[in-house]
Chain A
Amino acid sequence: MLTQLTHDIATVSRRRWLAATAGLVLGLAAFSNAKAQETIKVGVLHSLSGTMAISETTLKDTVLFLIDEQNKKGGVLGKKLEAVVVDPASNWPLFAEKARELITKDKVSVVFGCWTSVSRKSVLPVFKELNSILFYPVQYEGEESERNVFYTGAAPNQQAIPAVDYLMKDEKVKRWVLAGTDYVYPRTTNKILEAYLKSKGVKQEDIMINYTPFGHSDWQTIVADIKKFGSAGKKTAVVSTINGDANVPFYKELGNQGIKATDIPVVAFSVGEEELAGIDTKPLLGHLAAWNYFQSIKDPANEKFIKAWQAYTKNPKRVTNDPMEAHVIGFEMWVKAVEKVKSTDPDKVIDALPGIEAKNLTGGTSKMLPNHHITKPVFIGEIKANGQFDVVWKTPGLVAGDAWSKELEGSKDLIGDWVGKKCGNYNTKTNKCGGQGS
């Protein structure tokens, strides 16, 4: 009764509040429209409040930083870039509203934004309908290739699969715990991983899958279960797709129950330098993370970037992370594409982007592929006592991102090809566009 009441009132108040903010933003947008005519507008669609603010605020700062740097170099096509920042407040439907506002009201040429897959799914129809461009910087579950979206984060074959390979070969892991937060990214990734492990001869009884709600904070039972699962005489590892805030109590519980990386290593796909900044990392020594970038990687481009970033944020301890690098690459690719076609017209830029190359921060050159994913190196890092990662393994070269997983029945015949086939889900068996993913 009370819960119902609370809920009703919460919805009402949220709506009212939304209306107010929307009004405010509209007013501001109108003002800025009148002020500056000769700029190219870049939309920034990252949550600055709510649950995801913890991760997305940094990305907003990153785009502002990149725009600032580009303007110092004289902008693009002789015009200055101008950022339009909106706050979708970790509210998925609001992402779609804000995206529409950016494209129709502010007339932005490109949008950098979104973190969770559900927010990306929420804005997809808007970008398709209004034909604009979205750069999505976060590692995700794949099974998607859209004409209007460019995926600069890792697909599962650029993060999850290499990490599992490393554990299998180097750590001789025979038993697997797949632990994740209960939403689309962990569920799809775990489905892919389960299929992959089984194809490598791992038996059903050696795989334990566990899901927890967002923001789960009491990990005692699950950590005890992992400990029990790991005492079957076979080397065990945890593959964690636990996302967001829940990681801190999870790692604290691991440390407190004395699970060391030498006994049961945990490899995480959503824990980076930012997330570790909130934890005492000494008990976590040796646990792993798989990313396409680490702050600790020694490369002149990376060192230069870190220095400039820390100077820009006026914080000498400010860390960098993988999704930030994805924005760096995506931003450079967009600038190059715009300069190539000498226009910000979405259709021209979308056609120009595949094939564009941009230096990444780890010494390689990433390339935009016809399926709108990019090539990236994969690194496995171990957590060090200072909250940074020590790279213990990396792929020999760059890995091309697969939009459709080769491990899943429903998607293994599909490819995304926006250059030759003009299709995001082309079925190579039936030679038809419009095959369905799982």
Chain B
Amino acid sequence: MSANFLDRLRAVLLAILLTTAFAVPALAGPFEDAVAKFANDDFSDTDEAIGAVAASGNPLAFPIISALQEGRLSADPETKKVFVTGADGKIIDAATGAAVDKLPDNAAAVRLNNRLRRAVEAAVGSLTLLSPDPAKRIAAAQSVFKSHEESALPVIDGALAKETNKAVKAAFAEARAAILLYKPDATEVEKLEAVAIVKAKGDQEAMALLTGLSNDVPPNVARAAASAIASIQSNLATWSMVQNAWYGLSLGSVLLLAAIGLAITFGVMGVINMAHGEMVMLGAYTTFVVQEVIRTSYPGLFDYSLLIAVPLAFLVAGAVGVLIERGIIRFLYGRPLETLLATWGLSLVLQQAVRTMFGPTNREVGNPSWMSGAFELGQITITYNRLWILCFTLAVFVILLAMLRYTALGLEMRAVTQNRRMAASMGIATSRVDALTFGLGSGIAGIAGVALSQIDNVSPNLGQSYIIDSFMVVVFGGVGNLWGTLVGAFTLGIANKFLEPVAGAVLGKIAILVLIILFIQKRPRGLFALKGRAVEA
């Protein structure tokens, strides 16, 4: 009997144990319920889950939301369990915080769409307002400014009172102003103050906020907002002039970079080199190959990939240039039509060769971290890649100029191009100098390719899009003069960018072409014409 009783007791205990074990999820609190919704793979459920988790005050809320933002939150659709993979690779159960060894096989990342991404950004904003890192607090304040959710107001007020950092304080004040502007029951005085603060911010976001204001605000506020919009607009109009000038400089630097090699081969040597664009393309493909090798073998060096690619691109394109000069062009000196045809054919051959080797599709060349993103200067956005390309172009220009002026090779080059027979009489090996000059021009085109791979497609057609522009710059600037190329490139760049907003991209380009044709009629030798007997030769 006793044994029987014990058996029964064991069974009952086991039953209790089992029910409690299975009942736990059902009895779980609202936080656990909310987390489980992530596993439904339904956008509206995910939306609810984000709101509930962010408002829960649970210490796990921030890790969950930030994991969701970065695609590190995954869910198992069958067991409805949700997991956070930490930035360090550690995995925890999102509902309990317990560590997990590995993700189940069928766990998939929780999907987001744009609406949810906005919700996540707002949630992260309200969760990081009290972060110890000032940069994070500013970012949080900015996302609150954008979402102007009323619910964030108490947190902002609290944070503002405690804040000591000046920049963060300003960002908090702006965020608070944005909320008050859109809060229906804020007083008129509060709203007027808010308009003033937003007006002082003075950028496009501030303008968006003010223009989006509904019509049912008190008339005084509406008037203040309208005058604030007008003043921001006139301020932005001035900045847009500065912006056009910057865009012009940046376009000019790209033109200069593409044309500078041609200024040597066409400008100094007089070879109409239609394959110039393909040298640029070879440089870009060299960058691609360098990055591929780095990606597979030395991923740590990725940020230096461009620095490594520059000398290699110079060597590759330069070597091809020397080959072309020795193999084709040296037989064609003084016969511009044949040179033109031969180099045109060569450009097709090179394009097709690259197409066969690397395929017809674009190749991905990544931006190193120091070339990605942008910074704000006043009210204009300056992107790092454009800034670096401008610096790089000027550096290449200065080095080239110094080389032509101060090195023995430079002296020989100038001598040969000015008077070939006299240079030969002086004992200069003119054919060797020809090869080296052509190689130098091609090598510089290769370097241009490294920079252009950062802003354009790396495809076999890369060169074609630059060849016309390059000739335009060199002819406009004055054949045979590097300074002319510099001034020509920047003039064309800036003129293009001031015409583009008025006339549109297509008409702007046509207008530039017409202007150049008219200019060449007036000054056939370009901006900076060479003078003296050398020209007549």
Contact = CB atoms under 8 A, between A and B. Distances in A.
B16 interface: no
B372 A256 contact: yes
B345 A13 contact: yes
Interface string A205-223: 0000011110111101110
A261 interface: yes
Nearest to B384: A256
Interface stretch (B84-92, B183-191, B206-214, B422-430): B206-214
B366 A221 contact: no
B266 to A, nearest CB: 10
A320 B55 CA distance: 42
B53 interface: no
Given A213-B505, A221-B501, A256 B465 contact: no
B458 interface: yes
Interface stretch (B56-64, B108-116, B161-169): B108-116
A3 B475 CA distance: 10
B211 A232 contact: yes
A10 interface: yes
B381 interface: yes
A227 B500 CA distance: 16
Interface residues of B, number: 76
Contacts of B207: 231-233
Contacts of B449: none
Interface stretch (B242-250, B306-314, B315-323, B436-444): B242-250
A210 B360 contact: no
A13 B209 CA distance: 59
B406 to A, nearest CB: 32
Given A53-B355, A248-B456, A220 B213 contact: no
Contact of B71 (A54, A217, A224, A385): A385
Contacts of B497: 220-221
Interface in B180-220: 204-205, 207-213
Interface stretch (A137-145, A272-280, A403-411): A272-280
Interface in B434-455: 455
A382 B372 CA distance: 22
A249 B455 contact: yes
B136 interface: no
Which of B210, B251, B504, B517 is the most central at the interface, judged by chain A CB atoms within 10 Å of its CB? B504
B521 to A, nearest CB: 9
Interface in B229-261: 236, 240, 243-244, 247, 250-251, 254
A63 B462 CA distance: 28
A376 to B, nearest CB: 22
B43 interface: yes
Contacts of A233: 207-213
B415 to A, nearest CB: 27
A9 B360 contact: no
A58 B210 CA distance: 49
A286 B43 CA distance: 14
Given A13-B344, A220-B247, A277-B361, 10 more contacts: A54-B461, A57-B361, A221-B244, A221-B500, A221-B501, A224-B381, A245-B459, A261-B114, A275-B362, A392-B43
* Closest 6 pairs between A and B when the two form their complex, measured CB to CB: A278-B362, A233-B212, A233-B211, A231-B204, A256-B383, A231-B208
8 contacts: A6-B274, A6-B340, A49-B355, A215-B465, A217-B455, A217-B456, A256-B372, A256-B373
Interface of B: 43, 71, 111-115, 117-118, 121, 204-205, 207-213, 236, 240, 243-244, 247, 250-251, 254, 272, 274, 337, 340-341, 344-345, 348, 351-352, 355, 359-364, 366-367, 372-374, 381, 383-386, 455-461, 464-465, 468, 471, 475, 497, 500-501, 504-506, 509, 517, 520, 524
